[in-house]
Amino acid sequence: DGGITQSPKYLFRKEGQNVTLSCEQNLNHDAMYWYRQDPGQGLRLIYYSQIVNDFQKGDIAEGYSVSREKKESFPLTVTSAQKNPTAFYLCASSIPQGNEQFFGPGTRLTVL
Amino acid sequence: GESVGLHLPTLSVQEGDNSIINCAYSNSASDYFIWYKQESGKGPQFIIDIRSNMDKRQGQRVTVLLNKTVKHLSLQIAATQPGDSAVYFCAENIIQAGTALIFGKGTTLSVSS
């Protein structure tokens, strides 16, 4: 089965701790994305990567970091510098500049 | 800031009715406009896209209309079913910019039986 996976589905962390969200795809897509979604809101772009070993900041990159060491993987670290990290995080992949992004099931992060 | 938005945050229809979800955009440089559907607790799913040089495109039970004069995009769903209940997002793609899709805020469609 080809697809994009995120783990875990639910994540709880204490305030001040860094946490890394996993995103893996086996669709052979070059481009990968991270979005944040708050209740009743749209998708806000955190980071994106068009190719391995390269990534760009999105609209709300502050307090987040990413790496793209492998084509299949694009982990997101939510650092303690992120002031309001509790949210639903969505990862997606696509062909470069593609209209159709394939989304994972999301990770709901709650910071206590 | 955002250049894509939706007119109404919620839309309630009866099963079997046709639904029309609207979206306004401001960037004339967009190459494509896209509609996504997000069911509760899941990631968004691609529905249909339309190139900026077209004014209409039809899919299965869905039609997207693009009016570049007034910078307006709409998604029409024929014979709406309870399974269509979801949040619908419009998005735009500016190919030359080399950036990611720009998503609007979304309209929640509720279909009652």
Coil, helix or strand for B84?
helix
The Cα–Cα gap between A75 and A47 comes to 10
Tens of pLDDT, residues A38-91: 987 889 999 999 999 999 999 999 999 999 999 999 999 999 989 999 999 999
Q: Please name the member of A42, A50, A102 whose beta carbon is closest to the beta carbon of B105.
A: A42
Taking CA atoms, B92 is separated from A56, A77, B3, B29, B63, in Å, by 18, 27, 9, 10, 17
Asked if B43 and A104 come within 8 Å (Cβ–Cβ), the reply is: yes
Coil, helix or strand for B46?
strand
Tens of pLDDT, residues B50-89: 999 999 999 999 999 999 999 999 999 999 999 999 999 9
**What's the pLDDT at B95?**
86
Q: Answer yes or no: are the C-beta atoms of B23 and B7 closer than 8 Å.
A: yes
Sort out which chain B residues have CB atoms less than 8 A from A31's CB and list them. 100
Nearest CA in chain A to B9: A40
Sort out which chain B residues have CB atoms less than 8 A from A50's CB and list them. 98
Q: What whole-number percentage of chain A has pLDDT above 70? A: 98
Check pLDDT > 50 for residue B2.
no
Query: CA torsion B109→B111→B112→B113, rounded to 10°?
Result: 180
**What's the pLDDT at B7?**
61
